[in-house]
Chain A
Amino acid sequence: MQSKGENTERLMSSGVIPGPLPEPYNAVIESLSGEEVEALISVKRRLDEANASIGGSGDMGFMGMVVPL
């Protein structure tokens, strides 16, 4: 079994990912800088909190960000 890298452990313990991901995501995760890991954790946490506060199911199709640029 593949051992978990440091970034994978960090993202799992913060709830960003449910467990080790297959390639190519595993390699991408282990290439992240510490600042990228922190950014992922904080963005995911804020969006999850916002979704929970409005009672959202989290079931979303892709629709873009609706920003004029």
Chain B
Amino acid sequence: MTTGATASERLRQKIDLIGPRVTLPARLLLEHPRSGEIYPRYLATGYHITCGMIQVMEAALGRARSLAPADPVASRLAAYLERHLVEEMHHEESGGAVLDDLAALGIDALALVEECSSPKIASLFRAQHRWILDDHPVAVMGFLELEAYHTELPVVELLIERTGLPRDGFGQLLLHARLDAVHARQLHDVLDSLPLEPSHEQLIGLSALRTIGHIADALLDVVRTDTPVAQSL
């Protein structure tokens, strides 16, 4: 690389090329006249992203550990993932905290998350596992770059106001609005400390761009559907 910037800055510049429409699904949710009906389905789709993220991190950690003796990138990545997996487990079961938020909205959480499983999200996680196993586990850093696109606290507060839903149904969004600025800084510090080759940065870039594309697609499907969620589905 010849830019003189850091790896995390170059990754951010790649994502900048998509433009501000990265946040289109969130804006549509916020502006939807029936955002209170759409939000549970949006959150249930997020459940699958949360669960998949834990599985992808575990797969990357396993692969990084096996490569670590001969691979300094994998070695440092494994140390980071060991810490970050603990930070991301907000419940005894992965995704359990999102289920608690859905239940606080008076919804049958398990039924809704089953209904909201998205082929686009499943396709993203198949690609992540393939990159981790066939290319290099550092691909997971592209997925985790999502943490740099966390929701700001005032946006969550506005969403609570506009949906008119109980605050307890926004626990995970409120938590991550506080935590993810820190997590994103840690992610970037680790990224900038890894002895990355250009091929690693290209893999991380591909992983990040595909992650943002698939997740935005899946969330757009939710905000453009007219199907309301019944209470106690």
Chain A interface residues toward B at CB < 8 A: 11, 16-17, 23-25, 27-29, 31-33, 35-36, 39-40, 42-44, 46-48, 50-51, 54, 56, 58, 60-69
Q: Would you list the 8 A-B pairs with minimal beta carbon distance, nearest first?
A: A43-B213, A68-B172, A64-B151, A47-B21, A39-B209, A66-B26, A33-B202, A27-B3
Q: Which B residues are closer than 8 A to A by beta carbons?
A: 1-5, 9-10, 13-14, 16-30, 42-43, 46-47, 49-50, 53, 88, 97-98, 101, 146-147, 149-152, 155-156, 159, 172-173, 176, 180, 198, 201-202, 205-206, 209-210, 212-213, 215-217, 219-220, 224
Of chain B, the residue at the smallest CB distance from A23 is B3
B206 touches A33 (CB 8 A): yes
Task: Check B21–A68 contact: CB distance below 8 A.
Answer: no
Contact yes or no, A47 B13, CB < 8 A: no
Take A24-B9, A40-B18, A58-B21 as given contacts and tell me if A65 and B213 are in contact as well, using a CB distance cutoff of 8 Å.
no
Partner of A28, one of B14, B29, B172: B14
Q: Is the CB of B23 within 8 A of A54?
A: no
Measured between beta carbons, the chain A residues less than 8 angstroms from B1 are 27, 31
Q: Is A69 in contact with B212, judged by CB distance below 8 angstroms? A: no
Known contacts A25-B17, A58-B21; A69 and B53 CB within 8 A of each other: yes
Is A56 a contact of B24 with CB atoms below 8 Å?
yes
Contacting B17 at CB < 8 Å: which of A17, A54, A63, A69? A17
Given contacts A28-B13, A31-B10, A39-B210, contact A67 B215 (CB under 8 A): yes
Which residues on the B side are within 8 Å of A27 (C-beta)? 1-3
Question: In the complex, what's the smallest C-beta–C-beta distance from A61 to chain B, in angstroms?
Answer: 8
The smallest C-beta distance from B22 to any residue of chain A, in angstroms, reads 7
Among B46, B156, B205, point to the contact of A33 (Cβ < 8 A): B205
B29-A66 in contact (CB<8A): yes
